[in-house]
Amino acid sequence: MTSDFTWNIRVYYEDTDAGGVVFYANYLKFFERARTEWLRAAGIEQQLLTVSHHVMFVVKSTAVDYHAPAKLDDELKLSVVVERLGRASVQFIQEAWRVEGEDLRLLASGRIKVGCVDTSTFRPSPIPDEVLDRIKNTG
């Protein structure tokens, strides 16, 4: 549906655990940041969405597989791909790769489903048409 979106980040001390590797739950934070930047690149501002349409995206489910550790100061490339676009939800495939010169090493892969909800009731709400169009035309 849409082409890959990538966003690079650096691993900071705060991202690591006592063993000096990225704490497993932080990959969800990295994936969240990449999705936020993907939305921004599509011209969708989440705060404006809440004000103008009274809807917001919330995470419904996650499943992450871990393949190799990231460590302090590693450069990571995060990818975002829309796997399925529904009327009130978007399912993503996301990956975190360590940049090793010209090579990439897969560290974590996940499937994240977000739902669009009404800001006052937190009940499912259709994704606004203009947002759906931007998602469909991203890439």
Predicted TM-score (pTM) of this structure = 0.92
The band of 2, judged by pLDDT with boundaries at 50, 70 and 90, is: very low
pLDDT tens-digit map of 107-129: 999 999 999 999 999 999 999 99
pLDDT over 80 (residue 79): yes
SS3 70: coil
Residue 27 pLDDT exceeds 50: yes
Token pair 């009327």: residue: 87
User: Which are the catalytic amino acids?
Assistant: 17
The answer to whether the CB of 37 falls within 8 A of the CB of 110 is: no
Q: How far apart are CA 67 and CA 28, in angstroms?
A: 15
Residues 113, 48 contacting (CB under 8 angstroms)? no
Q: Categorize the per-residue pLDDT at 3 as very low, low, confident or very high, splitting at 50, 70 and 90.
A: low
Alpha carbon distance 49, 37 (integer Å): 15
The answer to whether residue 12 scores a pLDDT higher than 50 is: yes
pLDDT score of 21 more than 60: yes
Residue type, 40: R
Backbone torsions φ then ψ of 13, nearest 5 degrees:
-55, -40
